[in-house]
């Protein structure tokens, strides 16, 4: 992969050399054509002037004659045509180069993301497998007391769940791109969010709080929507787990649930280090993860936010990321509410 990536960079250098040559050559030949046109005009002008001199005409009479004016107009039109065609050619070439550059950049980004994915997936697979293997070898070779047995089996189960989640993400990402078949039903989104908070609370040292918009906290059926329960729950779980992953040492994560008339809003707010502005537009890309795969400490494959965005969009919703004040990140999803919730 790395060798192929270097080959792409070498090919890019050659491409830019060729493009630079074509641009310079195009500009040079346009300039030469312009000069040749001027030379032809001057030669024709001298020839006509010599004829007028033989007739005894003055220079002023020659410059005002119909023959000269027609000649000047003809070559002026040719000059404008050369300049216009040169500009159009330059614009088309620049536009073509820009499109090729964009395509090459996407290709390089994809190559980089695939390389990161291979590095991360290798780590994500090797770590739990090695841990489970160590537990099994320990159980095979040693006689353990109940407490030791409990700790080891708990560790092995945790790693097995991690592998299961990884396989689920990989399969779900593949199914999403191939056309996932959703099973829509009417859901109470507030209850679903509460259930997700209960599932993720053991993974976080601080508090996970749910704030509900105004007096709606006391009302029923204010957050009803039609959705696929399994996938929409994975959206909420992914966002909470993402906040836990990137803000592990903070004391709280806040979920704001809002009813904005025809739209339901869910904000997942953390107080971690935040996301750089340049990264915000890329975090929903497939396989993309913040930082360098060689030095990154957080676990994952770069599929979570890609899957989350795809699910939200398939539910006719939107997802966006914003800075939290004074620090941290806020993920906001908007989903259409049922009419009775409006």
In angstroms, what CA-CA distances link 268 with 22, 206, 243? 52, 15, 8
- DSSP secondary structure string, 277-313? HHHHTTTTSTT--SS-TTT--S---S-HHHHHHHHHH
Helix (H) or strand (E) holding 320: strand 318-323
Per the structure block, which two tokens stand in for 74?
A: 């003809």
- The answer to whether residue 164 scores a pLDDT higher than 90 is no
Rounded CA separation 48/57 (Å): 11
Domain boundaries, the chain: 2-116, 120-178, 184-341
Secondary structure class of 285 (helix, strand, coil): coil
Say if CB 214 and CB 258 are below 8 A apart.
no
**What residues form DSSP beta bridges with 208?**
253
Helix (H) or strand (E) holding 159: helix 146-178
Stretch 257-270: mean pLDDT: 89
CA angle 326-330-331, nearest 5°? 175
Stretch 24-34: mean pLDDT: 82
Residues in Cβ contact with 141 at an 8 Å cutoff, skipping those fewer than 6 apart: none
pLDDT band at 333 (very low <50, low <70, confident <90, very high): very high
CA atoms within 13 A on the CB side of 256: 15
pLDDT band at 269 (very low <50, low <70, confident <90, very high): very high
Residue position matching structure tokens 């004659």: 65
Secondary structure class of 92 (helix, strand, coil): helix
Instruction: Tell me if domain 120-178 and domain 184-341 are identical in fold.
Output: no
Residue position matching structure tokens 């089996």: 153
What pLDDT sits at residue 51? 81
In angstroms, what CA-CA distances link 43 with 40, 47, 66, 73, 322? 5, 6, 18, 15, 68
What pLDDT sits at residue 4? 45
Residues in Cβ contact with 201 at an 8 Å cutoff, skipping those fewer than 6 apart: 208
Per the structure block, which two tokens stand in for 14?
A: 């050659």
Chain segment 35-54, per-residue pLDDT in tens: 888 888 888 888 887 888 88
Among the ranges 1-5, 130-134, 162-166, 313-317, which has the highest mean pLDDT value?
313-317
Residues in Cβ contact with 46 at an 8 Å cutoff, skipping those fewer than 6 apart: none
Rounded CA separation 76/78 (Å): 5
If you average pLDDT over every residue of the chain, what do you get? 82
Which is nearest to 200 in space by CA: 167, 172, 235? 235
SS3 content of the chain, % helix, strand, coil (to 5): 65, 15, 20
Chain segment 168-210, per-residue pLDDT in tens: 777 777 777 777 788 999 999 999 999 999 999 988 999 999 9
CATH value of 184-341 in 3.30.565.10, 3.40.50.720, 3.40.50.80, 3.30.530.20: 3.30.565.10
Please state which CATH class domain 120-178 belongs to. Answer: mainly alpha
For helices 189-200 and 229-246, angle between their N-to-C axes, nearest 10 degrees: 40
Residues in Cβ contact with 268 at an 8 Å cutoff, skipping those fewer than 6 apart: 236, 239, 240, 242, 243, 253, 254, 255, 330, 331, 332
pTM of the model: 0.60
Say if CB 319 and CB 239 are below 8 A apart.
no
């Amino acid at each position: 992969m790395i060798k192929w990536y270097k080959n792409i960079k070498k090919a890019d250098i050659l491409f830019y050399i060729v493009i630079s040559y074509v641009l310079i050559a195009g500009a040079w030949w346009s300039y030469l054509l312009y000069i040749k046109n001027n030379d032809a005009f001057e030669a024709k002008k001298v020839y006509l002037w010599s004829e007028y001199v033989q007739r005894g005409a003055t220079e002023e009479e020659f410059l005002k004659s119909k023959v000269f004016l027609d000649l000047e107009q003809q070559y002026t039109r040719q000059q404008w045509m050369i300049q216009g065609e040169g500009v159009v050619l330059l614009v088309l070439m620049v536009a073509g180069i820009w499109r090729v550059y964009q395509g090459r950049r996407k290709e390089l980004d994809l190559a980089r993301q695939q390389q990161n994915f291979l590095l991360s997936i290798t780590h994500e697979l090797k770590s739990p497998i090695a841990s489970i293997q160590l537990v099994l070898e320990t159980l095979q070779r040693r006689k353990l007391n109940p407490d030791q047995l409990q700790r080891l089996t708990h560790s092995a189960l945790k790693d097995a769940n991690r592998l299961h989640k990884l396989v689920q993400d990989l399969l779900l990402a593949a199914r999403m791109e191939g056309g996932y078949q959703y099973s829509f039903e009417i859901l109470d989104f507030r209850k679903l969010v509460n259930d997700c908070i209960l599932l993720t609370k053991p993974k976080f040292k601080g508090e996970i709080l749910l704030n509900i918009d105004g007096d709606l906290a006391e009302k029923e059926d204010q957050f009803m929507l039609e959705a696929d329960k399994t996938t929409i729950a994975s959206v909420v779980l992914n966002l909470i787990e993402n906040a836990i992953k990137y803000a592990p040492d903070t004391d709280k994560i806040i979920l704001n649930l809002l009813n904005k008339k025809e739209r339901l809003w869910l904000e997942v707010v953390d107080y971690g280090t935040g996301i750089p502005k340049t990264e915000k537009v890329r975090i929903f890309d497939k396989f993309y993860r913040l930082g360098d795969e060689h030095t990154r400490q957080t676990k994952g494959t770069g599929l979570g936010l890609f899957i989350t965005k795809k699910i939200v969009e398939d539910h006719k919703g939107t997802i966006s990321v914003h800075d939290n004040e004074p620090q941290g990140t806020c993920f906001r999803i908007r989903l259409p509410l049922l009419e009775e919730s409006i």
